[in-house]
Amino acid sequence: MCRREIDMIRNKDKRGLMKLTDIADPNFDPADTGKSLDKLMREIHGRYGDGQLVTGVEVFRVIYSRLGFGWLVKPTKLPLVGWVMDYGYKLFAGLRYRSALKRYNKNVCEIPVEKFPERL
C-alpha cells in the first residue's frame, strides 16, 4: 500500500513540489532530523523547507493539499473525522511497523540453502 501511494504522489507531483525520501535506503542518515531511524519508522514524517517536522495524518493532509486535493483533505480536519483519521492511522502505523520488523528479521535471519549447499 505504501509503495503504491508514493508512486501515485510522484506521478501527481508534476511541479516537483515534494522530495520523497526512502528512509529504508541504506544511504539515508537520520541525523539531521533529530530522530532515530526507529522513531522515523514508527510513523510517516514530513519536513517543510525550514526543517519543521510534521507527523502522521498531517503529512498526508499537507501532501494532498499541495497536489490540489484540498477538497479531500478538508473533511479530515473536522473534529470527529480528524480524530478518527488520526487514531486509525496510529493503529495502521503500529501494525505496519511490527510487520516491517518481522519481515526485516525474517530476511536477515534466513540464509538461502543455495549459499550453503553442504548444510545439514
State the alpha helices, DSSP H only, in the chain.
2-12, 37-42, 57-66, 70-73, 79-109
pLDDT band at 105, cuts 50/70/90? low
Is residue 64 a part of any domain in this protein? Answer: yes
Is residue 51 a part of any domain in this protein? Answer: yes
pLDDT band at 114, cuts 50/70/90? very low
Looking at this protein, which amino acid is placed at residue 18? M
Q: What is the pLDDT of residue 18?
A: 87
Which among 6-10, 14-18, 77-81 has the top mean pLDDT? 77-81
Residue 33 to residue 44: CA distance in whole angstroms: 13
Asked whether the CA dihedral 71, 75, 77, 83 is positive or negative, the reply is negative
Written as nine digits, the cell of 44 is: 510517516
Looking at this protein, which amino acid is placed at residue 89? Y
How many domains, the chain? 1
Q: What is the pLDDT of residue 83?
A: 96
Is residue 59 a part of any domain in this protein? Answer: yes
Owning domain of residue 88: 2-115
Residue 59 to residue 65: CA distance in whole angstroms: 10
pLDDT in tens, 41-86: 889 999 988 889 999 999 999 999 999 999 999 999 999 999 999 9
Is residue 120 a part of any domain in this protein? Answer: no
Is residue 48 a part of any domain in this protein? Answer: yes
DSSP 48: -
pLDDT band at 104, cuts 50/70/90? low
Q: Residue 31: CA atoms inside 13 Å, Cβ hemisphere, count?
A: 2
Is residue 9 a part of any domain in this protein? Answer: yes
